[in-house]
Amino acid sequence: MDITRRHLLALLPAAAVAWKYILAGTPEASPNYKLSEHWWGMLIDIPKCIGCGSCVRACAEENDVPDGYFRTWIERYHVADWRIERPEVESPNGGKQGFPPNEISGGKNFFVPKLCNHCTDSPCTQVCPVGATFVTPDGVVLVDKSYCLGCRYCVQACPYGCRFVNPKTNTAEKCSLCYHRITKGLTTACCEVCPTGARQLADLKNPKDPIHEFLKTHTVQVLKPHMATGAKVFYNGMDGSVR
């Protein structure tokens, strides 16, 4: 909890500057944002996640995500005993309305929020035939809505299942790490509403960012490391059963 507060207080002056531009009706990236000074990622603290679904709802509201599609979602795991290769997983409507109480007790139970990992060696970027999805100089994987053909190759190439095609725009879509927010000194919508600090935005190029200390003192993993995607979403306390 303390980390969250300190982190947010550091952002306050930058947010204040940005807010001026938002209120003025000119929400372009604030003039004091330089692409080369940032390298974005995220930290997910699994022991803190309560599966409330606030992040899924906030993301949908912030980014106009259509029903039935998810830029972020939560999975609930039940691991009975030693069979960590065969967990029981569910994600009712992506966890958007939280989770119903489960009758299963015993074993190990926990929540795992998932989103685009903003891979450094992103396979979705590699396969895009036209350059409609790309990695920005500050490490965010974005989709150019006006250039995307809707061929869906990128959706096939993502090992994490975080991409979909928006039925309204017929273009590929996914978590943008709230690029329109982070470039103005705000945090992502999901991190903003997370009540326990289980999700935290991280700027890997900022030496003052608490992620550096955290990575040194905790056991963290990325999803599917054997895919060598250079994922930048780090999971603290992630069990071996997580797929």
Residues 38-77 that bind another protein (CB under 8 A): 47-54, 58, 61-63, 69-70, 73, 75-77
- Residue whose CB is less far from another protein, 8 or 215: 8
- Residue whose CB is less far from another protein, 19 or 214: 19
Return the amino acid letter for 122. Answer: S
Number of residues that bind another protein (CB under 8 A): 106
**What are the backbone angles phi and psi of residue 142, rounded to the nearest 5°?**
-120, 165
Q: How deeply is 186 buried, as exposed, middle or buried, from its count of CB atoms within 10 A (0-12, 13-18, 19+)? A: buried
- Residue whose CB is less far from another protein, 172 or 216: 172
3-state helix, strand, coil in the chain (%, to 5): 30, 20, 50
Binder among 17, 80, 151, 215 for another protein (CB under 8 A) = 151
d(CA 158, CA 231): 11
In the complex, the smallest distance separating the C-beta of residue 64 from another protein, rounded to whole angstroms, is 9
In the complex, the smallest distance separating the C-beta of residue 76 from another protein, rounded to whole angstroms, is 5
- Residue whose CB is less far from another protein, 26 or 207: 26
The residue to which tokens 């995607």 are assigned = 229
In the complex, the smallest distance separating the C-beta of residue 209 from another protein, rounded to whole angstroms, is 18
Tokens linked to 135: 């990695």
User: For residues 220-235, b (16+ Cβ closer than 10 Å) or e, as one string?
Assistant: bbbbeeebebbbbbbb
DSSP string spanning 44-100? Answer: EEGGG-----HHHHHHHHHHTPPTT--SEEEEEEEE-TT-TTS-EEE-GGGGBTB-P
Binder among 104, 208, 213, 225 for another protein (CB under 8 A) = 104
- Residue whose CB is less far from another protein, 4 or 207: 4
In the complex, the smallest distance separating the C-beta of residue 173 from another protein, rounded to whole angstroms, is 10
Binder among 31, 67, 81, 101 for another protein (CB under 8 A) = 101
Which residues inside 176-235 make contact with another protein, applying CB under 8 A?
176, 179-181, 183-184, 186-187, 189, 192-197, 227
The residue to which tokens 């604030």 are assigned = 30
Tokens linked to 136: 């920005």
- Residue whose CB is less far from another protein, 60 or 216: 60
Task: For CA atoms 146, 152, 158, 160, give the dihedral sign.
Answer: positive
Binder among 109, 120, 206, 221 for another protein (CB under 8 A) = 109
Which residues inside 10-29 make contact with another protein, applying CB under 8 A?
12, 15-16, 19, 22-23, 27-29
148 binds another protein (CB under 8 A): yes
- Residue whose CB is less far from another protein, 61 or 213: 61
